[in-house]
Amino acid sequence: MAKAALENAIWDLEAQREGISLSKLIGGVQETIPCGVSVGIQASIPELLGVIEKELAAGYQRVKLKVKPGWDVEVLERVRHRWPGITLSCDANSAYKMRDADHLVEFDQFDLLMIEQPLWHDDFYYHSMLQKRLETPICLDESIHNRRDALAAIEMESCKIINIKLGRVGGFSEAIAVHNAAQERGIPVWCGGMLETGIGRAHNIALSTLENFTLPGDVSASARYWAEDIIEPEVLVSAQGEIAIHDTPGRGYEVRAELVERLTVRKETIRALELVG
């Protein structure tokens, strides 16, 4: 993630220097991006239904539910019964083992867009075995750190969808490489979030404008996580569940330096040394 922070800042600065938007600099073509939300495990199913209702009313195009053994089939059944037509997916965060394959096959009845990272975070082989048993597409997240991982997963048929996170893959250069490798092989991608503040969220928005980001990502509004974001304008999601792409140079959002300073509890200044001789 540290590499991503540095590299993404350089891409951002280059876009500002060139006087073009960051999305245009990386080759983005979309003027709006579709947005989804990730909903965590709640204290009860009725509480979960209330959260989903709120997110759907806000316009989000896809709902992703966190699942784990003991919080899965009944939850998916209740949600799908309540909203039979919504785009629904689930994220297991490696909560299952291959011995759970028969249980995971039950997920096929819920017409899910995908099941994200059901098995081990570093596995391709068992995901390939599981995908052969499932009608539901597997999406790999934590397994994909670079283009080579993406190619291995695709060639082994370990997944049918890939989640790209800028922080996880180390920045725009590798994210674009993963995107291109997936696009060339007919595998759709989407942008995952890592609880970024506005700066990282702006970078995710730019990444999501690439052509093969065809599925709603986890790039939601600032207000969903922050009472006050450190950028202006804050990220807004329309009633149609979309974010409009800004055409101003760089990331399209200004950093509120005074707010960053006010929130800072500790800082260190690193001065470059002048090399002589």
Query: What are the mean pLDDT values of the chain's consecutive 10-residue runs (277 residues total)?
Result: 94 97 98 97 98 97 98 98 98 98 98 98 98 98 98 98 97 98 98 92 98 96 93 96 96 96 90 63
Angle of helix 2-18 relative to helix 172-184, nearest 10 degrees? 90
Give the pLDDT of residue 134: 98
Give the pLDDT of residue 276: 58
Q: What is d(CA 122, CA 190) in angstroms, rounded to the nearest whole number?
A: 19
Is 3 labeled as catalytic in the residue annotation? no
Considering 3, 68, 132, 165, which one is annotated as catalytic?
165
104: buried, middle or exposed (CB in 10 Å: 19+, 13-18, 0-12)? buried
How many other CB atoms are found less than 10 A from the CB of residue 257?
A: 9
Is 54 labeled as catalytic in the residue annotation? no
Whether the model clears a pTM of 0.75, i.e. scores above it, the answer is: yes
CA atoms within 13 A on the CB side of 210: 26
Domain chopping of the chain, boundaries: 2-263
How many other CB atoms are found less than 10 A from the CB of residue 61?
A: 18
Tell me the CATH class for 2-263.
Answer: alpha beta
Considering 3, 24, 54, 66, which one is annotated as catalytic?
66
